[in-house]
Amino acid sequence: DETAAQMEALIAEASIERRAVQPLGKKPHYDVLVVGAGFAGSVMAERLARDAGKKVLVVDRRPHIAGNAYDLPNEDGILYHLYGPHIFHTNSEEIFAYLSRFTKWRPYEHRVRAQVGDKLVPMPINRTTLNMLYGLDLKTDEEAEAFLESRAEPVDEIRTSADVVVSKVGRELYETFFQGYTRKQWGMDPSELDKSVTSRVPTRTSTDDRYFTDQFQAMPLDGFTRMFENMLDHPNIELRLGADFDQVRREVTYDKLVFTGPIDEYFGYRYGKLPYRSLQFRHEMIDTEVFQPVAVVNYPAEDTPYTRITEYKYLTGQTAPKTSITYEYPSAEGDPYYPIPRPENQALFKRYEALALAEPDVVFVGRLATYRYYNMDQVVGQALATYRRMKADEDERREA
């Protein structure tokens, strides 16, 4: 159609211009090319530019920075997260201090309820959850502990995401809260997933109804995207958005590459595709001030097609007569969001990792490039550690 034709003409014009200003045969040179402008790529770029004085080109195939943490205001000015809710939490003082250079914070403790029948109960399971579900009046941690113990089923070796939960709370609570949700989220039964997946969600005997207990829990005051803008705002950093690595690698030269995309894609799927789970998001604006009582309500029932609904006002503290929410529908197709933790996938990743280790002058960082189900803070920690290693290697070479 007409708009598409106009777009193509603009793109063609832009690339002619770009070619015109470059002397024939001389491609622009950078010390480092960083692929991906999410947490992994942006932290690496920031450190390389600001700390090491490197000239860095950051590319992302998406038309924006911040990777999956990208947030933006909708037409009513309410911030929402295009790729699903992102809540920051960490126990690392170093990581929190590092990010604090680029943003102020809004204290926020995340709370989640699960819809079970007609009840909204605290998730993770805590004493209140048990009292509400079973009409009990458990008053102490010890009483709740004894109740859970009476239901728990011993499991010889805790290997899978089913074992972890069943051994702690028994089959009924497992089925109510975990089995259906996990089957939807991952497209497979918890018994087929590594124990690390459901281990992310604790079981409590107290009445603490926070989703996380980390020491630092806060949201970037002006949103994640603004924080990334500040991170990447440096004269040594150039940014090219809407540009694929495959295209850019032919147009520039560089000494080092930092790759934060899927590792199997980098190696042309030589050993086959690494499985990633995707999601489809339904973003809605609701003409009511408050939609639900907490930021996130989980829907563990298998016959509800979505896993959770997020209401952003709780995360941002914004007030407005309307409210923005997002439904998450798990899917096999789409952007790679979640590496799928199970032994055969880890084995396939290890084969790619061996290729990566043999690749000179390329480092692989982030959730997709290291195939790890990492939270944001873990990716920041991984990137900071990777940068330190790069720097130490370079110092060593210079001395030699």
- CB of 66 vs ligand FAD, minimal distance in Å: 7
Residues facing residue 33 across a β-bridge:
57, 257
Of residues 288-327, which lie at the interface with ligand UDP (CB under 6 A)? 298, 300
| 68 interacts with ligand UDP by CB under 6 A | no
Kindly indicate which of the ranges 66-74, 176-184, 236-244, 256-264 contains the residues binding ligand UDP, using the contact rule CB under 6 A.
Answer: 176-184
The C-alpha atoms of residue 355 and residue 272 are separated, in whole angstroms, by 14
Kindly indicate which of the ranges 85-93, 113-121, 140-148, 345-353 contains the residues binding ligand FAD, using the contact rule CB under 6 A.
Answer: 85-93
Do 38 and 59 touch, CB atoms closer than 8 A?
A: no
- Which of 32, 34, 41, 148 binds ligand FAD (CB under 6 A)? It is 41
Do 188 and 181 touch, CB atoms closer than 8 A?
A: no
CB neighbourhood size of 17 (10 A): 10
Q: Residue 41: name the closest of 64, 21, 65 by CA.
A: 65
What is the x/- site pattern for ligand FAD, positions 10-39, by CB under 6 A?
Answer: -------------------------xxxxx
- CB of 186 vs ligand UDP, minimal distance in Å: 6
Q: Closer to ligand UDP by CB, 33 or 315: give it.
A: 315
Phi, psi of 222 (to 5 degrees): -105, 20
Chosen from ligand UDP, ligand FAD, none, partner binding at 39 (C-beta under 5 to 8 Å by type): ligand FAD
- CB of 149 vs ligand FAD, minimal distance in Å: 31
Q: Closer to ligand FAD by CB, 148 or 309: give it.
A: 309
| 374 interacts with ligand FAD by CB under 6 A | yes
- CB of 143 vs ligand FAD, minimal distance in Å: 32
- Which of 30, 102, 177, 245 binds ligand FAD (CB under 6 A)? It is 245
Q: Closer to ligand FAD by CB, 164 or 376: give it.
A: 376
Report cis status (omega within 30 of 0) of the bond before 235: no
Quickly count helices (H) and strands (E) in the chain: 13, 17
Q: Residue 68: name the closest of 38, 26, 35, 104 by CA.
A: 38
Do 281 and 336 touch, CB atoms closer than 8 A?
A: no
Pairing of strands 276-286, 323-331: antiparallel
| 315 interacts with ligand FAD by CB under 6 A | no
For residue 64, the one-letter residue type is: H
- For 385, residues 6+ apart whose C-beta sits below 8 A from its C-beta are none
In the complex, the residues that contact ligand UDP under the rule CB under 6 A are 114, 123, 177-178, 181-182, 185, 197-198, 200-201, 298, 300
